[in-house]
Amino acid sequence: MLMMNESKAIVEQTGGTGVDAEGNAVVDARLKAFLDTLSTRKVRHEDLVFQGLCSHCGHCHQPLSDAVSVERGIGPTCSKKGYLEDPKDGDGTEAMIALAEYPQLVEFLLSHSEPGNLRGLMNALVKVCALNMGNANLHAACCDAIDALGYRKLANAMRESISCMVIKASKTHPGSYEVYVKKGAWSWAWDRAVLSIPGASKQRNPTLHVRVPIHAEGDPKKVIGGKFEGQLMSNKAALWKLMVQFFAGRCAKTPNGGVKILAKNKPASEPPPAQ
């Protein structure tokens, strides 16, 4: 794996911006030289596809039919989820570092893109996701790179398809979340931990899940919580704490869209829980 101290050094050397004096995002020559060395010491992924026509959407995995979608690798409905927006605070250097586990892909992007063309890089990454469906690790790396390029909304939307858990607002119990963890990610330890959140309960309708009360019914400002692991916190904060503990680095589909589960992505601060 890419060593964190090496990647941090690259960011520090390039200023962590990937932007030249004229404001154009670029890939620093030193980063390219560093990534070139990865090809000689990493396992190569010979089965990856970088070019071609896409039969399925890189986000929802549904079949594509119109010519534009087949070329892009994303359908007209999914393209409304950030694909057509302009990037914000894009960083080409960080994007390449996010893809360091895939040196062939980095080499392809560097040789097929113009300096400063963040949209071109994003387009290529979306297409790579569509052409390599089923490769969750590659998909996750591409989402991280798309995020670094400044297309956060699109990155979070595409993370939904590789989420290890789904969190929904309960229709039968307003003010509560229904938490579903996919079979491959579920464990008894997770089950015991999430049920330790004050008021959490296991439900079996329509499918097995855990219901976690977040705020009082009809009053979103009345936050529900209590003592959790020796600290007074809201149930929403307690749920996120457990998600980071059990699924850090993976993705979750939430009421606000897809999100990568990291401590720094924790929900905005809330008022103290109701006593």
Q: What is the pLDDT of residues 176-202, one digit of tens each?
A: 999 999 988 999 999 999 999 999 999
Predicted confidence band of residue 124 (pLDDT cuts 50, 70, 90): very high
Average pLDDT value for residue range 218-244: 91
List the beta bridge partners of residue 203.
Answer: 209
Q: What is the predicted pLDDT for the residue at 10?
A: 42
On whether residue 271 sits in a domain, the answer given is: no
For 36, residues 6+ apart whose C-beta sits below 8 A from its C-beta are 103, 107
Interval 236-245 mean pLDDT: 94
Domain boundary among 161, 184, 208: 161
Note whether 179 and 71 are same-domain residues: no
- Position 31 scores a pLDDT of 58
- Tell me the average pLDDT of the chain: 82
Q: Which residue has the higher pLDDT, 209 or 116?
A: 209
Which tens digits make up the pLDDT trace of 36-54? Answer: 555 444 444 568 899 889 9
Is residue 197 left, alpha or beta, with left meaning phi > 0 and alpha meaning psi from -120 to 50? beta
The whole domain housing 102 covers 4-161
Which residues are CB-contacts of 214 (< 8 A; sequence separation ≥ 6)? Answer: 175, 176, 177, 223, 224, 234, 235, 236
- Structural domain includes residue 273: no
**Which residue would you say has higher pLDDT here, 223 or 34?**
223
Residue 245 has pLDDT above 90, yes or no: yes
Cis peptide before 206 (omega within 30 of 0): yes
Mean pLDDT of all residues in 133-149: 93
Average the pLDDT over 129-148 and give the result.
93
pLDDT at residue 6 greater than cutoff 60: no
275 belongs to a structural domain: no
Q: In this structure, are 28 and 140 located in the same domain?
A: yes
178 and 144 inside one domain: no
Residue 37: the pLDDT is 55
The upper half-sphere exposure of residue 246, i.e. CA atoms within 13 Å in the direction of its Cβ, equals 22
pLDDT digits (tens, 9 = 90+) for 150-163: 999 999 999 998 89
Say if residue 215 is in the same domain as residue 237. Answer: yes
| End position of a domain, from candidates 161, 187, 212 | 161
Q: Any idea what the Cα angle at residue 113 is, between residues 108 and 116, rounded to 5°?
A: 135
Quick one: 44 and 139 in the same domain?
yes
Please, which pLDDT band fits residue 121 given cuts at 50, 70 and 90? very high
The verdict on 144 and 249 lying in the same domain is no
